[in-house]
Amino acid sequence: MEPVIEFKYFSFKYRAQTQPTLRDINLSIMPGEKVLIVGPSGSGKSTLAHCINGLVPFSYPGDITGTLRVGGKNPADLGLFGISQIVGTVLQDTDGQFIGLTVAEDLAFSLENNLVPQEEMFVKVDEVAELVDVKKLLDNAPRELSGGQKQRVSMGGVMVDDVEILLFDEPLANLDPATGKRAIALIDQIQKNRKSTIVIIEHRLEDALYRDVDRIIVVGEGRIVADTVPDELLITDILENRGSGNLFT
């Protein structure tokens, strides 16, 4: 089986920076894997996500060395639309990722794009709205929603897309603990139904350790410092060996 995401000796420097933000990344993620990326603030997690979903290089230009394949192709060759057919993202900052004038339009957007017949579209939007609990909000404008509601709409958006890779950048950031739990359950459910590859980015280690994931990638200062199975002892060890036991607090 071929990796669905493959970084090889990959480095990236934002145009506005003097030093690379990502350095010598080697990372292969297989289809259907559920991977958690953790690391301190500023370590490059979101940048890594931006490379996977094409914001690098299309929205954030810079210098790339090494190679990246997403779904077997170079994101730079695919174009943003091409990548959006492979990768669905729930960004850390959910503003600006809504396209529709209403929640319903937003959820329907990718279906329209993929020429799904109207009848089927209504059914699907309704199903997803139910699932992420935004049915009462369908006629609202995205900007009228709370942070947590936006995040749920955004999750709904990636659920209607039939994409191979789902990327969540700090999906719990705007949620209270109870809603956060539901978001986690939702992600698990998406994976179960779809067998998609799931990449979740988390900032706090304690949020990360109790997740049901296949692998944990630890990022530090733009490098991968560990690529391991979820095991509290192992991770603690990694952090202590780096002399940064309080890295995530």
Ligand X SMILES: Nc1ncnc2c1ncn2[C@@H]1O[C@H](COP(=O)(O)OP(=O)(O)OP(=O)(O)O)[C@@H](O)[C@H]1O
Please report, as ranges, the residues that interact with ligand X according to CB under 6 A: 14, 16-17, 21, 39, 41-47, 60, 92, 203
* Partner from ligand X, Mg ion, none contacting 191, C-beta within 5 to 8 A by type: none
The answer to whether 73 touches 3, Cβ cutoff 8 Å, is no
Task: For residue 94, state whether it binds Mg ion (rule: CB under 5 A).
Answer: no
Q: CB of 39: closest distance to ligand X in angstroms?
A: 6
Distance, in Å, from the CA atom of 78 to the CA atom of 104, rounded to the nearest integer, reads: 28
Q: Find the helix packing angle between 147-160 and 177-194, rounded to 10°.
A: 0
Q: Which is nearer to ligand X, 15 or 192 (CB)?
A: 15
Task: For residue 174, state whether it binds Mg ion (rule: CB under 5 A).
Answer: no
Q: Which is nearer to Mg ion, 87 or 160 (CB)?
A: 87
* Partner from ligand X, Mg ion, none contacting 142, C-beta within 5 to 8 A by type: none
- The two structure tokens encoding residue 40: 């301190």
Q: Which is nearer to ligand X, 41 or 65 (CB)?
A: 41
CA angle, 143 as apex, 139 and 148 as ends, to 5°?
90
Task: For residue 89, state whether it binds Mg ion (rule: CB under 5 A).
Answer: no
Query: In the chain, how many H helices and how many E strands?
Result: 9, 9
Give which of 139, 182, 189, 243 is closest to 34, Cα–Cα.
189
Binding residues among 7-46 for Mg ion as defined by CB under 5 A: 45-46
Q: Which is nearer to Mg ion, 116 or 165 (CB)?
A: 165
Distance, in Å, from the CA atom of 44 to the CA atom of 54, rounded to the nearest integer, reads: 15
* Partner from ligand X, Mg ion, none contacting 43, C-beta within 5 to 8 A by type: ligand X
Summarize as ranges the residues that interact with Mg ion (CB under 5 A).
Answer: 45-46
